[in-house]
Amino acid sequence: MPTPLAYNAFVMNTASHIQHGQWRHPEARQGDFNDVELWIGLAKTLEEGLFDAMFFADVVGVYGPSGGGYEVFAKEGLQIPSNDPSVLISALAVNTKHLGFAFTSNVQQEHPFNFARKVSTLDHISRGRVAWNIVTGLQENGARNFGTDGLVDHDKRYDWAEEYVDVAYKLWEGSWDEGALLKDKENGVFSDASRIHKINHVGEYYRVEGPHLPSPSPQRTPVLYQAGASPRGRQFAAEHAEAVFLRAPSPKIAREGIEDTRRRAIQAGRRAEDIKFFQGFAFIIGRTAEEALAKAEEFDAYASADGYLAHANIGTRPDGSVYPPETPLSELETNSSIGLLDWIRRGITDREPTVADISDSLLRNGRIVGTPAQIADQLEIWQDEGGIDGINVMNWRLPDSYTEFNELLLPELQRRGLAKTEYVQGSLRTKMFGADRLNERHPATRYRGAFAEAVVEA
């Protein structure tokens, strides 16, 4: 019997996240993303389906080149408008009991002192069900929105992230000792000041005195997600991440990336099992194979080629306008997603590939079409041959993609042992790793008691 996979619902607080054009369908609700009741209802649906977490993507700018237009993004509803998922999580947490909430936050968009305080607050509100997806940024406009001239060098962004997480670790793990919060009414002592410490961080990017204002939350440090695929990104994940998001094109390539990251983790003093890997899939589920194929045709009918091309940052000109679909790939001017373009060229050998082939490949990337049994067969292959630990379930339409998952696919997954039949009690980290707090192999734990020792030495 296989080990049950973990399942995240991959969503975004916007109208068009991954599957562009689907918001136009009469039954699609993602266009109503400003309505908190949509998200509360979805969170309850996910909890009924025993999902581990609702994983929110996020951006802090529009896609495209610096100074480029954004007409196509506004037209498509492609991540503009969009809202801050960290604010929404408060409402969802008080309407659920088990579901975790992972949200994306760029290290540039918020000072680490305030960010750490926000996360601790959310972890208290949710009773330990918060995760942070650590990103370093990929949008020129997003960087400019926070006062810089543009994105800094790729590897330099990871250096920045190293200091950012270091500050957060000091606040979450080291600023408050265990037992500092007393709430002693008889003696009138709420907290023991001798067990609360300033961190006095001084680095290249930040100077943070402290102490951390919230008391320790159930998890202290949130569950840590990351999605870097470059060598530098894998190294960062190996040292810091507990969950890694993949979009691998095959089980073989997934295993190669997983094994490389786990090898790096062992070299960093961690264990291979300290990190779980989640592959992204979009399911099209039918009671019969014919019904599944008919659904796929309907999804294709609503798909927006312009949306996929704009999102990929490949099929748009420097001014932000979209290339005509018949444009040969050889005429594209881009430094983005070169690997994807090479992959398309290798796959089409009987003619010159065009821009239309890009949108078609993106539409079908990560898509599994079939009956529950056929989809479960594929997931078994990805688990056995790819070595994945979980699935990020991407949606076509809200809330239908997840209600269909619960009704049609979940029973087959449970029957095969590919999905759990009940929740483990406790925090998100307890559900994933068996304990509320980070294990001692994680670099954040070196700050436990570190500032108490500094006080004694002083």
DSSP string, 221-242: SPEEEE---SHHHHHHHHHH-S
Mean pLDDT in residue range 166-179: 98
The more confident residue out of 150 and 6 is: 6
Task: Please tell me the predicted confidence (pLDDT) of residue 343.
Answer: 62
Beta-bridge partners for 295: none
The more confident residue out of 458 and 215 is: 215
Confidence of residue 305 (pLDDT cuts 50, 70, 90): confident
The more confident residue out of 136 and 89 is: 89
Percent of the chain with pLDDT over 70: 94
Q: What is the pLDDT of residues 312-348, one digit of tens each?
A: 766 666 666 777 888 888 877 664 555 567 667 766 7
Task: Please tell me the predicted confidence (pLDDT) of residue 119.
Answer: 98
Confidence of residue 457 (pLDDT cuts 50, 70, 90): low
Task: Please tell me the predicted confidence (pLDDT) of residue 327.
Answer: 86
d(CA 201, CA 296): 53
Residue 170 has pLDDT above 90, yes or no: yes
d(CA 22, CA 298): 10
Q: What is the pLDDT of residues 249-268, one digit of tens each?
A: 889 989 999 999 999 999 99
Task: Mean pLDDT check: name the lowest of 54-63, 318-327, 335-344, 429-438.
Answer: 335-344
Residue 393 has pLDDT above 60, yes or no: yes
DSSP string, 19-49: STTGGGSTT--GGGTT-HHHHHHHHHHHHHT
Q: What is the pLDDT of residues 398-415, one digit of tens each?
A: 999 999 999 999 999 999
**Three-state DSSP state, 380:** helix
Of 386, 388, 409, the residue nearest 276 (C-alpha): 388
Task: Please tell me the predicted confidence (pLDDT) of residue 322.
Answer: 73
Q: pTM here?
A: 0.92
Q: Are 105 and 86 in contact (CB under 8 A)?
A: yes
Mean pLDDT in residue range 221-232: 90
Q: What is the pLDDT of residues 347-379, one digit of tens each?
A: 677 888 888 887 777 777 789 999 999 999 999
Name residue 397's amino acid: R
Residue 207 has pLDDT above 90, yes or no: yes
Q: Which domains does the chain have, with CATH numbers?
A: 6-301+367-457 (3.20.20.30)
d(CA 209, CA 187): 29
**Three-state DSSP state, 107:** coil
